[in-house]
């Protein structure tokens, strides 16, 4: 069976998309699934923390796959990930150049990533696309390639406003480019359950977008530090880490059923 593709998105930066992609990938390999993480962000952060070996600055990556100037395939650019069962289609700042190139490209520019991934779909069970904090042509490519969108958000005004614009983009992509696209769920990250501010914006999100996945991910610096160190939460050897690993596993089960 071909892989199901999930785009992790929110135009608001700093909400934890990359950390979420990392932990969903870990949850998937823990279930013995074959996972591909696609880094669709020119910052290349998820590439840095998920690859097995440090990336050569001159190595081919997603930029080479999406540009019209080369014939590089996705299969050629994919590299091994941290854990058995994980592969990575990395990115670099050269992806920003390709983003600008796509602006002047004609028909089909929004489908470059979908076409690139098509030959490798049968090699994986799950594909996670980590999107940039923007609604540019690279993110449009990710949404056009995806079966489902996983929105990663904070319980805050700015995150909620970002989701409103993302919803408009998702609706446009579904109408014109990808009729199967739908929202698989909203993950509330860095949640401070004891503050009235967070409670208010959580209620606002709950009233305007569904489904919100529960429980929320609490605000703890060690969650980000674990992913930046290339360590799965279940590998920390702590009860708190094990509990959160189970939460990400439940998220994965939910979005795969969507």
Check if the beta carbon of residue 10 is closer than 8 Å to that of residue 133. yes
- Spatial distance between the Cα atoms of 205 and 12, rounded to a whole number of angstroms: 15
Q: How many domains does the chain have?
A: 1
- pLDDT tens for 199-220 read 888 888 888 788 999 999 999 9
Query: The domain that contains 170 carries what CATH number?
Result: 3.40.50.300
Residue 116: name the closest of 73, 79, 147, 64 by CA.
Answer: 73
pLDDT at 204: 84
DSSP state of 13: T
Q: Cα 183 to the chain's mean position, in Å? A: 13
DSSP state of 54: P
- Spatial distance between the Cα atoms of 155 and 132, rounded to a whole number of angstroms: 19
pLDDT at 157: 78
Token pair for 77: 């650019």
Residue 78, φ and ψ in degrees, nearest 5? -70, 135
pLDDT at 207: 80
DSSP state of 217: P
Rounded (10°) CA dihedral 19, 189, 150, 21? 10
Can you give the residue range of the structural domain that contains 139? 4-257
Pairing of strands 86-89, 79-80: antiparallel
pLDDT at 13: 85
pTM, 2 dp: 0.96
Residue at token pair 């699934």: 33
pLDDT at 2: 84
pLDDT at 210: 86
Taking the chain (258 residues) in runs of 10, the rounded mean pLDDT of each run is 93 91 98 98 96 93 94 97 98 94 85 98 98 94 98 85 86 96 96 89 84 95 95 96 98 97
Residue 187: name the closest of 4, 6, 3, 50 by CA.
Answer: 6
- Spatial distance between the Cα atoms of 47 and 178, rounded to a whole number of angstroms: 26
């Amino acid at each position: 069976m071909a892989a199901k593709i999930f785009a992790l998105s929110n135009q608001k930066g700093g909400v934890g998309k990359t950390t979420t992609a990392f932990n969903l990938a870990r949850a998937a390999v823990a279930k013995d699934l074959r996972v591909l993480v696609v880094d669709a962000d020119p910052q290349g952060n998820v590439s840095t923390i998920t690859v097995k070996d440090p990336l050569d600055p001159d190595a081919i990556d997603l930029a080479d796959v999406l540009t019209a100037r080369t014939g590089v395939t996705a299969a050629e650019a994919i590299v091994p990930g941290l854990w058995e069962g994980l592969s990575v289609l990395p990115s670099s700042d050269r992806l920003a150049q390709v983003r600008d190139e796509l602006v002047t490209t004609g028909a089909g520019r929004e489908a470059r990533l979908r076409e690139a991934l098509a030959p490798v779909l049968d090699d994986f069970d799950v594909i996670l696309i980590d999107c940039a904090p923007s609604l540019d042509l690279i993110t449009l490519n990710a949404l056009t390639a995806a079966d489902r969108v996983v929105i990663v958000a904070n319980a805050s005004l700015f995150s909620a406003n970002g989701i409103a614009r993302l919803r408009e983009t998702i609706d446009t992509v579904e109408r014109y480019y990808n009729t199967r696209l739908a929202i698989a769920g909203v993950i509330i990250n860095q949640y401070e359950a004891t503050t009235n501010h967070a409670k208010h914006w959580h209620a606002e999100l709950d009233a305007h977008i569904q489904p919100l996945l529960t429980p929320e991910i609490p605000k703890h610096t060690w969650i980000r530090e674990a992913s930046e160190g290339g360590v799965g939460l279940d590998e920390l050897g702590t009860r708190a880490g094990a509990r959160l690993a189970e939460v990400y596993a439940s998220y994965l089960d939910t979005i795969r059923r969507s």
